[in-house]
Structure 1
Amino acid sequence: MMQIDSVIQHAEQHCKQRGVRLTTKRKQVLSSLVQSNKALSAYELTDYCKQLFDQSIPAMSVYRILDFLETEHLVHKLSLANKYVACAHICCSHSHGVPQFLICGKCSKVKEISIAASTINELKQNAEQAGFTLVSQQLEMNCLCEDCIQQAA
């Protein structure tokens, strides 16, 4: 699990280098995503921030903050779940492969893993042969996590 202070420190450095600010509310939304350890919608984030920081952030503000954090590559939007998750590589200084997200359909826990660019290239070629163009390289897979499988057993 990511350390909140370390994540926020790296995120602030990242934003400073890019000439943008990581405001208090942006930090709160990012911290909430990291602490939740699962994908959250904007409305769930509103509730989570209220619980964690005793601050009301309107849903529209949360959406704007999420857009900012996504633009800065600090969070990922998961289209499959229509939720957001903190980037697992905020604290890394090296580059990674193409992100792939394993999403538990039951509890919304998300695991970000990397796959080789060659795999994406093969998928892209297969799509083109079928008459389609790959718009996004981000892959999201509907899964069940070990905890939910154990509970079902």
Structure 2
Amino acid sequence: MDKISTIIEHAEQSCKARGRQLTSKRKLVLRALVHASKALSAYELVDYCKTHFDQSIQAMSVYRSLDFLEGEHLAHKLKVSNKYIACSHILCDHEHGIPQFLICSKCNKISEQTIDPVMITGLQSNARQEGFTVINPQLEINCVCDDCAR
């Protein structure tokens, strides 16, 4: 079994264990995100599925599938670019924590890290002192990867 099939199978079993179903459309969207290895918008996913898998899927179905995948922690929405990426921790059986994304501003390469809970507590505490409540502590940091820096 190839890596993508392993990821899809694991995601399907995880959903089933929580009483949720990874439908064929949700699998297609997740497969596209994993296969692409980069962040894609909903409309880019429509095109990607057609080009790479010869499968037609409506944008509304992609949006619904992305909402499901996000809710199941199988995909993440990058707020700055309004694009989605497959969670890099799908095959892990532990709690994933709060993601931090290092995003190359030149080639759009993305690395997903888990933020230390102490750092999140500090951010939330600082926000509270300023009169704010953190709604989503996910961090997206613009960087330049080593390949592009050369």
TM-score, normalization: structure 2?
0.92
Partner of 2:60: 60
Q: Matched residues, percent identical? A: 61
Gaps of 5+ in 1: none
Q: How much does 1:104 deviate? A: 2.1
Superimposed CA distance per residue, residues 100-149 of structure 1 (whole angstroms, 9 cap, x where no aligned partner) = 11122233221100121001111111111122111112111122222332
Is 46-55 or 105-114 further displaced after alignment?
A: 105-114
Contact 2:100 2:114 in 1 (8 A): yes
3-state SS in 2 of match to 1:77: strand
Q: Distance in 2 between matches of 1:38 and 1:82?
A: 13
Q: Take 2:7 and 2:50, find their aligned partners in 1: how far apart are those partners?
A: 21
Q: Which residue of 2 aligns with 1:121?
A: 121
1:18 to 2:22 alignment: no
The Cα shift of 1:31 comes to 0.9
Cα RMSD between the aligned structures?
Answer: 1.5
Aligned residue in 2 for 1:146: 146
Figure out how many residues of one structure are paired with residues of the other and give that number.
149
Q: How far does the alpha carbon of each residue in 1:62-90 deviate from its partner, in whole angstroms, 9 at most, with x for none?
A: 11110111111110111011100101111
| Match runs of 1:2-151 below 5 Å | 3-150=3-150
Name stretches of at least 5 consecutive residues in structure 2 with no aligned partner.
none
- Give the AA of the match of 1:66: L
